[in-house]
Amino acid sequence: MKQTNNLIYFDNASTTRVNPRVLEVYNQTHLSSFANPSSIHKEGQRAFYLLSRTKEDILSLFKLKDYEVVYLSGATEANNLAIKGTALRYKNRGNHLITSTYEHPSVLEAFKQLENEFGFEVTYISPNHEGLITKEMVESVIKNNTILVSIMAVNNEIGSINPIDDISNLLEKYPKIVFHVDACQAIGKLEKEINYSKIDLLTISGHKIHGLVGSGALIKKKKIDLLPLNSGGGQEYNYRSGTEDLANASALLEAVKIALKDQKKNYMYVKSLADCLISYLNVHSDLFELNSPEKINPYIINFSTLTKKGSVVVEALSNANIMVSSTSACHSSKEKGSYVVKEIGKSDKVSNNTVRVSLDYTNTMEEVDIFISTLDKIIGEIR
């Protein structure tokens, strides 16, 4: 599944090209098992059985027991259900919530709504200069009335990898605190896999791993209860009422299988691409400032242009058929600069001129070389 010859696509943190095998599974399932899984007739029950099997298989891939999979439309819905569903269900235990200042907008906005509209107290932890939220930072703000901690696994703009295992080990001492992790940029993209069995709520998204846009899931411990955000027929354990999409679920399962199959090999390959680009940026430190920390997920590299406007460089690259981004796609049309880069202590000038290159195992070294030579040319030509 290589890129097309005339397009260099380096915006994989926003969305990935769908894998043909995922599309094949979706189409086959849609044609062969189209009945409503909630119907009591034979075909409906067969669809329900197949839907249940996809959930068992996903949990098996993540080596999880005593968990359940809630199929949703993607990460935004999963994060909202996890955060609001937990806070509103367990508000009798306490009203204090913890997250970080550089989370994905779907996390930050959910917390802001709970804070502004429902009276919850939220502590927002700022990352250190390496872009990390440490267990010590989390422990220092825990209160007697804390009921939820939500920390992303990999930051979607700078690629920093949070010590999720350390944080989950810490939170074992606080049994009334629910731990949620947005793992969208981590699934299939880490050298060392996270111990998911110590996380209460886990968000995954299909289109970040060559699955379909509109597919995702919240993987949750069975003992954790959530307040449903929509009401209806009670599907998905009553957490997401509405007719289940078996084809979409089957496609998500296939995407997860593919992502995890060659994870270490793909990681090392992408690292070789990232190392080449980072070396170029470091050599030209008078022109670029590297925002991604030294220890990163190599799938995401963030830098700022020091002598040119970042947005102009991104546009020029696009005109050269090289697709990169300046910030997260979920807020790039609304905000001038990167709040994530600003949160790790960078100046306004640096945070307002970011370029994010998000790589994938489908990219090639030749594409990296073309990107570097094109960037060189653009920096030289732009006034």
Catalytic residues: 330
Residue 297 CA to residue 73 CA, distance in Å, equals 25
The first and second tokens of residue 307, run together, are: 């002598």
Residue 351 CA to residue 131 CA, distance in Å, equals 14
Residue 47 CA to residue 59 CA, distance in Å, equals 19
96 close to 123: Cβ distance less than 8 angstroms = yes
The CA–CA distances, whole Å, from 282 to 164, 289, 290, 323 equal 29, 8, 7, 22
Residue with token string 């306490």: 94
How many alpha carbons fall within 13 Å on the CB side of residue 43? Answer: 8
Q: CA torsion sign, 330 to 336 to 338 to 344? A: negative
Residue 83 CA to residue 224 CA, distance in Å, equals 12
* Per-residue DSSP letter, 99: E
